[in-house]
Amino acid sequence: GRDMLEFRIDRDAGMTGKELPEHTRASGSGMPRGIWALGLCSMFMDISSELVHSLLPVFLSTVLGASMLTIGLLEGIAEATAAIAKVFSGSLSDWLGHRKPLAVLGYGMAALTKPVFPLAGSVAWVFLARFVDRIGKGIRGAPRDALVADLVPAERRGAAYGLRQSLDSVGAFLGPALAIVAMGWFADDVRSVMWVAVLPAFIAVAVLVGGVKEPPSAGASARKVRPDLLRGWRGLPRAYWRVAAFGTVFTLARFSEAFLILKAQQTGLALQWIPLVLIVMNVVYALSAYPVGWLSDRLAPRRLLLAGCIVLVAADVVLALASDTSMAFVGAALWGLHMGLTQGLLSR
């Protein structure tokens, strides 16, 4: 902003006494340190969460004796909770004029649930942990993304969001990979492996608390015009609500990723290698997301969404008919492709 401009003018004139504000100082890559901190925070939390999620369905079914119906209800309620919390957290961060406290709260709630999973003696405890974890996810998402926008000028936001998402995707890959290694190390003891997820979760919170400084100008400008908590929703255009309605119906047509894991187990995949299903899905998702984004600038987004729907149907058919491990992996890859075709488009 203004400080950046003044710094450049002073530098060009040979004056070196003026420094950039701390929150806008760039790292060696040219991206502000706060953006790297937000990305690393996302990465460590995803390592933790994906490690747990890659084993949780198996833990519920084999250790705690939960039925498929119970697992489906748990996952559905958990994801609905996250979606509802997202609706309120964005408006609340605008109303408060601060982003970081809500982001810390959301990540902190997720971190505090991680020890509950290996300690859980019943499905009820897992349900409670998942419920609180998803509330935390819903709370942190919008304020975190707003922080990214506050930390960089408008012309660099695309790169900033891309960096954060890339590090998040790295975590989504490393979490299941770490689960595979830990399952081998602990001889398929799922409870012991879940303890491994505790450390990266608390590292994520520490990185956020110590590595991100909220720009004071962002909070000050938000407090000058404090919006009504509900007025922002009322002013959204009809096109937005049409997209939201499509996204809702589209989500109803999808089953939980937990069933990808259970399907892999059903086809005979060894317990240690079950997290590989999520690795395949996330690799295809990550590799397809950017090309689809590039295509969406050149083709009608509706065509790509239609293609995503077709791929989703294909994934459902392949997984329903899969009788061996190779077909389960094909279904997981198609599932990742449908995510790459649709998620970015629904967010833009």
Question: What whole-number distance in Å separates Cα of residue 51 and Cα of residue 30?
Answer: 32
Radius of gyration of the chain (CA): 21
- Please list the pLDDT of the chain residue by residue as tens digits (348 residues): 434 433 333 434 333 333 444 444 555 457 788 889 999 999 999 999 999 999 999 999 888 988 888 888 887 777 777 767 776 766 676 666 678 888 999 999 999 999 999 999 999 999 999 989 988 888 888 888 888 888 888 777 767 777 787 788 889 889 999 999 999 999 999 999 999 999 999 999 999 999 988 877 555 544 555 555 555 556 666 766 666 666 666 565 566 778 888 888 888 888 889 999 989 988 888 888 777 767 766 777 778 778 888 888 888 889 888 888 999 999 999 988 888 887 665 555
Query: What distances in angstroms separate CA 210 from CA 47, 97, 100, 204, 213, one per listed residue?
Result: 19, 20, 11, 10, 8
DSSP 41-69: HHHHHHHHHHHHHTTHHHIIIIIS---HH
pTM here? 0.76
- Within 10 A of 317 (CB to CB), how many other CB atoms are there? 12
* 227 DSSP assignment: -
- CB neighbour burial string for 319-346, b if at least 16 within 10 angstroms, e if fewer: beebeebeebbbbbbbbbbbbbbbebbe
